[in-house]
Amino acid sequence: MKMLLVLLVSAPLLSAVFLMLNERGARQAPRVSLALAVGVFAVAGWLLGWRIHQGVDVSMALLGGWPILRLDALGALMAFVIAGISLVVHAYSVRYMAEEEGQRRYYALLDALVFSLLLMVLAGDLLSLLLAWNLVGVLLFFLLGHNVRRPAAGRYAGWGLLTFRVGDVALILAAVLLFDAYETLDLAEIFQRLQQEDDRMVAQWVGALVAFAAMARSAQFLLHAWLPYTMEGPTPVSALMHAGIVNAGGILINRFAPVFAHTDGVLPWLFVIGLFTAVVGSILMLCQNDIKKSLGYSTMGQMGFMIMECGVGAFSLAIYHLIAHGIFKGTLFLGAGGIINEARKHDGVPKDPLYRFVVERGVAVRRPPWKLMAAMTLIVPLLVLGVAHWLVDEEILQKQGALVLLFFGWITGAQLIFSTYKAEVVNLTRFLALMLFSFVIVVIGYVLVSHVFDLFLYPDPAFRASLYAAADIELIWFELVLLLVAVVVVVGWVLVYYADEKGGRFGRGLSRAWLRFYALVSREFYVPDVQTLVSERLLKLARSLNRGLRWM
């Protein structure tokens, strides 16, 4: 297994080196890179199956020293996901990059990035983790700026690199604190000694620094502007970003889960930041007229949900979320070109009920009764979510984090049913039955699969309980937060209903307020403008320093 582990990580690196040294191999680059991607995926699948069957970790040491590679549950699972998405991206790139310049450089950088991602999730020591974490940011910068004829590509890739560097400094400081406290680079030994000694002070500072590094990499609010603007690079790179780059924050937090289990107050702040990012990202996603930029803001919102799940102690749920989102959003990016091409052929005529009835000679439609939909909106999600969670954990009501997830699940389900109120259908009974059946299947599947992830990643119930305990806050604040969020959601529903249905002076006033808010959202809360100003000032300062050094 150790040799397979080394082969898994080293194969993409060898492919990258071969492509860079073989100057005449531009035509061979797609085939060589794709063949290596197939092999890497096969090895990653074999190692994941072996880890599931055996249930033991494997370490690979360098000359008898600290382990540079470690195959544990998290590493095996994420290596398989990275290898799988990488294989799809490689296959897609064969035709996508067929007429592009610099194919050999592109595939070499792509393979080097896959190597860095695999090393990041399989790192067994602090040094390897820091090396891989930094390499991912640098290689992504070169890939996003691959098309040198587009100045915007290089400019916005620089935004990403600058943001990554801010988070990298925090992770380096966390590593220095851990090495100073325990005088070893072995992650497993550090976590074991931390648990034995219960060093709360070290855990508190390291947890805060790691959390900040995760927020910078996963595009949390005020550190997010790079993500929606880095769409000038090749589309396959945008898809690969969801295989362990933009969602690397969740991976990093899970890697340092033993540290966060000994913190106090760090996880609640993660929850607040993740919640705010999820709301802002979702709002900005709905207001974009560029499909890839809209997907970028959608990713920002989903990364907010991922960080929020870590903030309530549901670490394994965050891993499940980032895997599902990575596969889903990677597919959306690869299919964005087809959607754009189809949109160019669309006549742009809105298909409202009058158009369908008069022009398309459609049948009359009707809307579900509002009293029935109101009852379903409030009762059905709570009933389904409560039963599904009770099936996997009878003590669900005794955990604050689980209650928060249940609460937000209820809001999401209620919002889904509430949004269907406007749907105008021919067969009302079939529509309601299919909607409820789909909701039940999705919720039960999500809960059961997340429970399986819980058992696989963190089989010790006491450790899982310690993660939830680290996310707890005082009961009075917990109840106030839930009440505040519930009031905001319900008021939002009421305002939307009156603005759309009742009209009149109140409705017109709400419409004007929504337009003012939309004007603010259309400028993306001025965050990109501020970042542009800061970037220009930094470039100006760099040029001044460069001229000064020339005179010395």
Q: Detail the DSSP E strand segments found in 8-116.
A: 58-61, 67-71
321 and 468, same domain (yes or no): no
Mark whether 465 and 511 lie in a shared domain: no
Q: What pLDDT, on a 0 to 100 scale, did the predictor assign at position 350?
A: 54
| Banded pLDDT at 259 (limits 50, 70, 90) | very high
Same domain, 6 and 98: yes
> Can you tell me the mean pLDDT for 495-523?
71
Q: Are residues 335 and 405 in the same domain?
A: no
- What is the phi-psi region of residue 351: left when phi exceeds 0, alpha when psi lies from -120 to 50, beta otherwise? beta
What's the rounded mean pLDDT across residues 546-551? Answer: 71
Q: Tokens 């000679």 sit at which residue?
A: 361
With respect to residue 166, please indicate whether it lies within any of the assigned structural domains.
yes
Which residue range is the domain that position 337 belongs to? 152-341
- Give one word for 251, left, alpha or beta, with left for phi > 0 and alpha for psi -120 to 50: alpha
What total number of domains does the chain contain? 4
- Choose among 119, 161, 169: nearest CA to 9: 119
Q: Per-residue pLDDT tens for 126-181?
A: 999 999 999 999 999 988 888 777 777 777 888 888 889 889 999 999 999 999 99
Please tell me whether residues 472 and 528 are part of one structural domain.
Answer: no
Residues 60 and 20 in one domain: yes
Report yes or no on 458 lying in a domain.
Answer: yes
pLDDT at 545: 82
The answer to whether residue 359 is domain-embedded is no
Q: Are residues 410 and 533 in the same domain?
A: no
139 assigned to some structural domain: no
Cα distance between residue 524 and residue 280, in whole Å: 9
Q: What is the pLDDT of residues 278-303, one digit of tens each?
A: 989 988 998 888 888 888 899 999 99
Q: Last residue of a domain, which of 456, 490, 524?
A: 490
Last residue of a domain, one of 436, 459, 490: 490
The least confident of 72-76, 390-394, 456-460, 494-498 is 390-394
pLDDT digits (tens, 9 = 90+) for 47-82: 999 999 888 888 887 655 667 889 999 999 999 999
Residue 147 lies inside a defined structural domain of this protein: no
Domain assignment present for residue 158? The answer is: yes
> In sequence order, which ranges of 472-526 are alpha helices (DSSP H)?
475-497, 504-522
Residue 471 pLDDT class (50, 70, 90 cuts)? confident
**Is beta strand 58-61 parallel, antiparallel or unpaired with respect to 67-71?**
antiparallel
- What count of other Cβ atoms lies within 10 Å of the Cβ of residue 395? 9
**Residue 229 forms part of a structural domain:** yes
- What is the Cα–Cα distance from 452 to 444, expressed in whole angstroms? 12
Q: Which residues contact 550 (CB under 8 A, 6 or more apart)?
A: none
Residue 354: inside a domain: no
Looking at the structure, tell me whether residues 512 and 486 fall in a common domain.
no
Residue 248 and residue 373 in one domain: no
Indicate if 196 and 327 belong to the same structural domain.
yes
Same domain, 194 and 311: yes
415 shares its domain with 274 = no
Q: Structure pTM?
A: 0.87
Q: Shortest CA distance to 405 belongs to which of 459, 446, 374?
A: 446
Residue 269 CB: number of other CB atoms within 10 A? Answer: 12
Tens of pLDDT along 521-533?
Answer: 888 888 888 888 8
Question: Average per-residue pLDDT in the chain?
Answer: 82
Q: How far is CA 507 from the centre of its chain?
A: 37
Does the pLDDT at position 516 exceed 70? yes
Q: Give the 3-state secondary structure of 236-257.
A: HHHHHHHHCCCCHHHHHHHHCH
% of the chain surpassing 90 pLDDT = 25
List the CATH number of the domain containing 45: 1.20.120
